[in-house]
Amino acid sequence: MRRPVRIVVAAVAPALAAAVARADGGWPAALPVEFASRGPGGGLAVVPLVAWWLCVLGWAATVDAVNRDTRRHTFRPALWSTVVALPFVVAALLAWWIPSALGGLVLMLLAWLGPVVGFAVLRNREVAEGERILTAGHARRVVAGLLAPLGIDLGLARDEAEVLPVVKLAAAGGRDAAENGDREQRAGATPGCEEAIKLLQGAVVARAATVLIEPDPQGILVRHEVDGVWEKPRVRKPPRSRKEKETFPEAPRPDRAAALAVIDTLATLAGLPQARGGRSGTFALQVDGKPRNCRLAVRAASGGEQVVVQIEPPAAIFKTPADVGMPAAIADRLGELLALEKGLIVVSSPPASGLTTTFDVVVQSADRLLRDFISLEDAALPPREIQNVRPVKFDARTGKTPLDALTAVLREYPRAIVTRDLRDRALAVELVRLAADDKLVIVSMKATDAVDAVARLEACGVPPDHLARTLVGSLAQRLVRKLCPKCREEYPTPGEILARLKTTAEKLPHLRKPSAHGCRLCRGTGYLGRTAVFELASGSTFRQAIAAKAEPKILRQAATKDGMQPMREAGMALVVEGVTSLEEMQRVFSAAATVRPETAEARAK
């Protein structure tokens, strides 16, 4: 390590000594010539070398920005990344060898900035004015962004286009690329193309999973399903002064002609040129360059056609129970149940309450490496594949029932059986029998809570005494919306809540609620995303109550005695933590309860 240092010192020392001697014993008036001029052998001296590296760093940042921008706008990213990158690489290499160090730096600047200027000129023709680069407006936006962290607000009005994603229509349901290209061309030529892009752009910004377009007495109604709640579309209303806040009032309704033109555009894109009721198809959206699949359904309705567009959400990864909001105590107990050699575990929720996601997480939490897992699946509705869980298909269209598929696969002696959305009576009875013998059985079903799941199994013909011997756990969940972390508001805790929770205002001074105006993050709704509340009924007292054919109220009391925290209490815990609001809990739990299915004994009477 010391020898290179000695070589460097020996090389630099003569130059420093000469400079000091020329300065009559004092500091030199200027940098030594050797620091700024090209040295022997074609290398760069200190000052040109620093400038060379600054150019390289600036060029690297520019290439990255151009690459991200072209992908976002689908503006030939491969071509422009090459155009911006390649000339500079050549110029940077030449800068080491041409006779003039200054000339090499000038060449690098031209190779760096020239392609960028050309890119900006062509790009600015394709985007809105508020998104153009290398303009006076762009310079003001950059300066405002640099000063914002310092608390300095320049008061620049931002165009709506600056905060909206770039959305483009794409065909995805054709037989081949040629058919998809033809659909895109025909859809782009329809009068409603621009309006369709605007409508779907608003849906993406609102995080809508479904868009509904239907006729009503006033004309055409458009609604978004956001976090499980139907909302009317909103538009951003910018503030008129710095003291005002931006608001998000309801968007004006589209006129009937514009709505029909949008329907024709989407139907053409999905391969439904006639757009008549009872038909469905698929297409795709390019959102900032990333594809999102969509499903279009057109149904006949009074006064016209009802159109439903389902938009695939951005990919979210849920691997562990904690990822879906499951408390640690329930996750630990569930892990113990999944380690059992035999028994029945039921996972349930009301419709559209995240049952598929939670069920997959539960199955993924089981030990699938040491035991042979199989999954009974409907061939018409194949679920997401889970590693080390072998799918076994049944198909009502060909006459192969779930029980037929189960009987065939039992010859291979699987140790664990998984099935979703259990409704088949014969299959339910057979699975309970297998769970009593030597199989771990995990099923999902629609139910309002953990006790209602027991009633639904009994309604399938499962005898209560058999169910009591095999049921080791009934996990139920519901989804609640989370308050927007940016605009949620605080208010004093009501006295009745303090009395209910048996606490004081000093310990719980305030709760949180959604903002009346919202913000850009939640798009005016006051909520952002969802989480789940759970309850897990498991224990000997609960099983004894099932065997005794107890009423739902007694079953719930028995489960609570075994340690179950009811979902309502779990929801109140989220209210106290500020995750959600009282209004949201009332909305979720005040919905009319599903009527408890009749048991076999009741039907016999």
What are the pLDDT digits (tens) for 15-42? 444 444 444 445 455 545 444 455 554 5
Question: Are 171 and 99 in the same domain?
Answer: no
Question: Are 297 and 387 in the same domain?
Answer: no
CA atoms of 566 and 584, how far apart (whole Å)? 17
Q: Which residue has the higher pLDDT, 399 or 431?
A: 431
Domain that holds residue 229: 167-311
Q: Which residue has the higher pLDDT, 105 or 275?
A: 105
Beta pairing class for 210-216 and 304-311? antiparallel
Q: How confident is the model at residue 277 (pLDDT cuts 50, 70, 90)?
A: low
Q: Which residue has the higher pLDDT, 240 or 179?
A: 179
Question: Are 335 and 290 in the same domain?
Answer: no
Looking at 311, 346, 361, the residue that finishes a domain is 311
Has residue 396 got a pLDDT over 90?
Answer: no
CA atoms of 582 and 576, how far apart (whole Å)? 9
Residue with tokens 């699946």: 377
Question: Are 307 and 211 in the same domain?
Answer: yes
CATH number of the domain enclosing 516: 3.40.50.300
Has residue 457 got a pLDDT over 80?
Answer: yes
In a domain, 134, yes or no: no
* Mean pLDDT (whole number) for 556-567: 94
Residue with tokens 């160090």: 101
Number of domains the chain is built from: 3
3-class DSSP assignment, residue 179: helix
In a domain, 112, yes or no: yes
Question: What are the backbone angles phi and psi of residue 585, rounded to the nearest 5°?
Answer: -65, -40
Q: Which amino acid is at 594?
A: T
In a domain, 524, yes or no: yes
Looking at 101, 126, 151, the residue that finishes a domain is 126
In a domain, 131, yes or no: no
Question: Are 77 and 105 in the same domain?
Answer: yes
Question: What are the backbone angles phi and psi of residue 352, rounded to the nearest 5°?
Answer: 60, 40
Question: Are 431 and 450 in the same domain?
Answer: yes
CA atoms of 36 and 273, how far apart (whole Å)? 71
Looking at 262, 292, 311, the residue that finishes a domain is 311
Question: Are 194 and 326 in the same domain?
Answer: no
Question: Are 541 and 593 in the same domain?
Answer: yes
What pLDDT was estimated at residue 251? Answer: 87
Question: Are 436 and 531 in the same domain?
Answer: yes
What pLDDT was estimated at residue 598? Answer: 41
Question: Are 84 and 203 in the same domain?
Answer: no
Beta partners for residue 279, in sequence order? 298
- pTM of the full predicted structure? 0.71
Has residue 245 got a pLDDT over 90?
Answer: no
Token pair belonging to 508: 């719980």
In a domain, 316, yes or no: no
Q: How confident is the model at residue 128 (pLDDT cuts 50, 70, 90)?
A: low
In a domain, 454, yes or no: yes
Q: What's the whole-number average pLDDT of the chain?
A: 82
In a domain, 161, yes or no: no
Question: Are 331 and 435 in the same domain?
Answer: yes
CA atoms of 482 and 326, how far apart (whole Å)? 15
Question: Are 82 and 41 in the same domain?
Answer: yes
Q: Which long-range contacts (CB under 8 A, 24 or more apart) does 219-223 make?
A: 219/253, 219/255, 219/256, 219/259, 220/253, 220/254, 220/255, 220/256, 220/259, 221/253, 222/251, 222/253, 222/254, 222/259
Token pair belonging to 160: 């709506």
Q: Which residue has the higher pLDDT, 559 or 150?
A: 559
CATH number of the domain enclosing 290: 3.30.450.90
Decide: 308 and 419 in contact? Cβ < 8 Å: no
Q: Which long-range contacts (CB under 8 A, 24 or more apart) does 283-286 make?
A: 283/169, 283/170, 283/171, 283/172, 283/173, 283/183, 284/169, 284/170, 284/171, 284/172, 285/167, 285/168, 285/169, 285/170, 285/200, 285/204, 285/311, 286/74, 286/166, 286/167, 286/168, 286/169, 286/170
In a domain, 530, yes or no: yes
Per-residue pLDDT tens over the stretch 62-80: 888 888 877 776 777 888 8
